[in-house]
Amino acid sequence: MYGLVNKAIQDMICQNHGEEVWENIKQKAGLEDVDFFISMDAYSDDITYRLVEAACEVFKMPAEDILKAFGEYWVTYTAAEGYGDLLDSAGDSLPQFVENLDNLHARVGLSFSQLRPPSFDCEHTSEKSMELHYQSTRKGLTPMVIGLLHGLGKRFNTKIDITQTRSREEGSTYDSFSIEYDNSQSYDK
């Protein structure tokens, strides 16, 4: 994955737990020789998975919890670290943003040819619900997607309820979610 992802993990850990904890996790991941990640360089996925695994050991938390927290973090991190306009251009509501995710990734992929974007296919089932199909070349990142969706809920002041309805873990060829959302409590609408 692009270094931006590893940098975001580093930033989340440093913000919440400090530099020493990060150095510990980096060492446990076997990355003691890495001084820093370069956002726009492509790294082996293995590096990202090792960081998550090491964080699990240090925080004694399951990978799902860490990936979920990281998904939420990614939305605010990328908005603050140079991709605010990219995110803004993807829409101003949760359903619109999710609908535009493949376009967003296609745009990033024009400049960064080693991007392996997931695909998100929406079926709008009512004014406040959708079925979302998530397909990825990568394994094990479904909890991150759930965190990402919660991050979008926060971004758009939208309550969101997610139920997984298909799972690769349980033999499906991809994951699906049934999503209910509601921004009617929002003060700025």
Q: Which residues bind ligand 1DX (CB under 6 A)?
A: 1-2, 4-5, 39-40, 74-75, 78, 83, 101, 104, 108, 112, 115-118, 136, 138, 141, 144, 148-149, 152
Shortest spacing between CB 113 and ligand 1DX, in angstroms: 10
CB of 18 to ligand 1DX, least distance (A): 25
Cα–Cα distance for residue pair 78/74, rounded to 1 Å: 6
In angstroms, rounded to a whole number, what is the distance separating the alpha carbons of residues 118 and 133?
A: 10
Question: Which residue's beta carbon is nearest to the bound ligand 1DX?
Answer: 136
State in angstroms the smallest separation of the CB of 129 from ligand 1DX.
17
In angstroms, the CA 53 to CA 106 distance is: 29
CA dihedral 5, 78, 80, 77 (to 10 degrees): -60
Cβ-based nearer residue to ligand 1DX, 24 or 159:
159
CA torsion through residues 81, 84, 87, 93, sign? positive
Q: Confirm if 182 and 176 have CB atoms less than 8 A apart.
A: no
26: closest CA among 5, 43, 45, 6?
Answer: 6
Least distance in angstroms from the C-beta of 61 to ligand 1DX:
19
Considering beta carbons, is residue 1 or 66 the nearer one to ligand 1DX? 1
Shorter beta-carbon distance to ligand 1DX: residue 59 or 174: 174
